[in-house]
Amino acid sequence: MTTTTNDNLGNNSKRVHTTPFWIAALFAVLLLAAPMLTPSLANAASTSVRVSARILPWLNVTATPLISSYRVDAEAIQRGFIDLPNSLSIQLSTNLRSDIDLSLESFGPERIVVGNGTHSGSDMIRFAALASNMPTTRAVDLRVILPQGIAQGDYPLQLNVSAMNI
């Protein structure tokens, strides 16, 4: 289809209307592309995604001495030790699923071990594998093994608790 127009200066110009041609061309392209688009759209519903995550292990230990000092008297010196029942509270939470060993270390001249007369005495505390991330708390009996030549008096309870096997 051709249209002749006259502008204000008296010039004639011919213009060809190409709109129907472009519509027909677009329609033809869509018809040819439809078979190629349909499988990709159908496959989009069945696409699988693989996700992987790495969870880092964590451990939170809070050791709270329930006593701050102990008294050494003549009887304790003769015996060589002092039992301190329920003298330490340990709260532990972790995402590990294995046993946790905690080590006790004294900052003083004495040796601190876990247990009292009913236990053999070790400087290790073992927490069995936890079933959840919820904190678990344990009261611990301590035994102070007195060094040779210690004098009678009051001594501070100075402990360090650290995890051994993580």
Q: Give the pLDDT score at 3.
A: 46
Q: Is residue 7 part of a domain?
A: yes
Q: Does residue 96 share a domain with residue 36?
A: no
Q: Are 138 and 90 in contact (CB under 8 A)?
A: yes
Q: Which domain holds residue 7?
A: 2-44
Q: Is residue 121 part of a domain?
A: yes
The larger pLDDT score, comparing residue 27 to residue 142, is at: 142
Mean pLDDT confidence for 45-58: 84
Task: Give the CATH number, domain containing residue 105.
Answer: 2.60.40
**In the numeric block, which tokens belong to residue 57?**
């292990």
Residue that has been written with the tokens 């071990």 in this structure: 113
Q: Is residue 18 part of a domain?
A: yes
Q: Does residue 139 share a domain with residue 66?
A: yes
Evaluate if residue 38 carries a pLDDT over 50: yes
Model confidence over 113-149: pLDDT tens digits? Answer: 887 554 456 788 888 877 777 888 999 999 999 999 9
Q: How many domains does the chain have?
A: 2
Q: Are 100 and 92 in contact (CB under 8 A)?
A: yes
Share of the chain above pLDDT 90, in %: 30
Q: Is residue 50 part of a domain?
A: no
Q: Give the pLDDT score at 5.
A: 47
| Separation CA 112–CA 125 (nearest Å) | 12
Q: Does residue 13 share a domain with residue 88?
A: no
Q: Does residue 63 share a domain with residue 135?
A: yes
Q: Does residue 114 share a domain with residue 39?
A: no
Q: Give the pLDDT score at 4.
A: 47
Kindly report the three-state secondary structure assignment for every residue of 77-128.
Answer: HHHCEEEEEEEEEEEEEECCCCCEEEEEEECCCCEEEECCCCCCCECEEEEC
Neighbours of 94 (CB within 10 A): 21
pTM value > 0.85: no
